[in-house]
Amino acid sequence: LPLRPRDTVHVVAPSGPFDRPLFDVGLAVIAERYSPVLRPDLGSAWRYLAGDDSRRAEELSHALLDSSARAIFCARGGYGSARLLPRLPLADAAPSLFTGFSDLTSVHAALQVLGRVSIHGPVLTQLGKQPPEVRDYFFRLLESPEAPPPLTGTATYVPGTAEGHLVGGNLSVFATLLGTPYLPPLDGAVLLLEDVTERPYRLDRMWTQLRLAGVFSRVRGIVLGDFTACEERGTDYTSGDVLRDLARESGVPCAAGFPIGHGALNYPVALGTHVRLDADSARLTFLEGAVRA
């Protein structure tokens, strides 16, 4: 269902501990439009986690089950949500829209296994730094049943067009779903990938795992978002060079440079909805909205 202003929304921290001032800026953006609810222990920290597994699982489980809420926003990515997957009540989740990216790719995937649509979009520590056009696009995606405007990338790696449901997210998190029950349906999909601070040989290693697992014989197209801070110093090749070669080997239509991920612009997109990729013009067209009227 579309969100309306003042709807109740949950704010959760299922991954890493976060910077509170940055989080507060993002929370204020949400609070201007909706009515966020959050637990007082949201700001917990334990090692590289926003509190132990019990705290994070209880918080996210409650948010998923609450049918009075219309959306779930995440404080930050980092690492940790995959640890919770076996204890989340995913099959009983209310129809609220889960949002987030990066480490939250694992939650998106687990929801998509169950046929759910969710929003690959900014976390709260990132939202405050996003310009008004991204915020407005986010609110429109949450509130309107219409397909959002298309997004454009900057490069064609493999020409061609593809149409299918959108899957994926963070490459390093997506790769860790291989071999588990949480890999989303891939046949006929358009695969979105982005990442941050992964050196080129690591991008190759993760992409090669996808290749050996048969992912590129199942998906129809590849949309590459930002690969932020992925360069290796002192080399004569870029992460873009490596990704272009990997895409060409994979042989699937692929365009790169979409404003999605850890960069200055993280346009939200609805995973599980049908999209059309025109790799020749590096254009991603949305064939439906994230919510139904």
Q: Taking the CA atoms of 91, 93, 94 and 99 in sequence, report the sign of the dihedral they define.
A: negative
Of residues 194, 198, 239, 250, which has the active-site annotation?
194
CA dist 291 and 150 (Å) reads: 17
Nearer to its own copies (CB atom), residue 198 or residue 278? 198
What is the chain's Cα-based Rg? 18
Considering beta carbons, is residue 125 or 273 the nearer one to its own copies? Answer: 125
231 is catalytic: no
**C-alpha span between 276 and 286 (Å, rounded):** 6
Write down the catalytic residue from 81, 102, 106, 250: 102
Per CB under 8 A, residues contacting its own copies are: 16, 47-48, 78-79, 82-83, 85-86, 172, 175-183, 200-202, 204-206, 208-209, 212-213, 232, 235, 237, 242
Q: How many CA atoms lie within 13 A of 216 on its CB side?
A: 20
Q: Is residue 194 annotated as a catalytic residue, yes or no? A: yes
Contact 85, 65 (CB under 8 A): no
Residue 201, judged by CB atoms within 10 A of its CB (0-12, 13-18, 19+), counts as exposed
Least distance (Å) between residue 170 CB and its own copies: 11
CB of 264 to its own copies, least distance (A): 25
Give min distance, CB of 205 to its own copies, in A.
6
Give CA–CA dist 251/116, Å, rounded: 29
Of 132 and 181, CB closest to its own copies: 181
Contact by Cβ (8 Å): 255, 155: yes
- Of 86 and 89, the one with the shorter C-beta distance to its own copies is 86
Tokens standing for residue 251: 């042989």
Q: Considering the complex, what minimum distance in angstroms separates the CB of residue 57 from its own copies?
A: 14
Is residue 163 annotated as a catalytic residue, yes or no? no
List, by residue number, the catalytic residues. 102, 194, 262
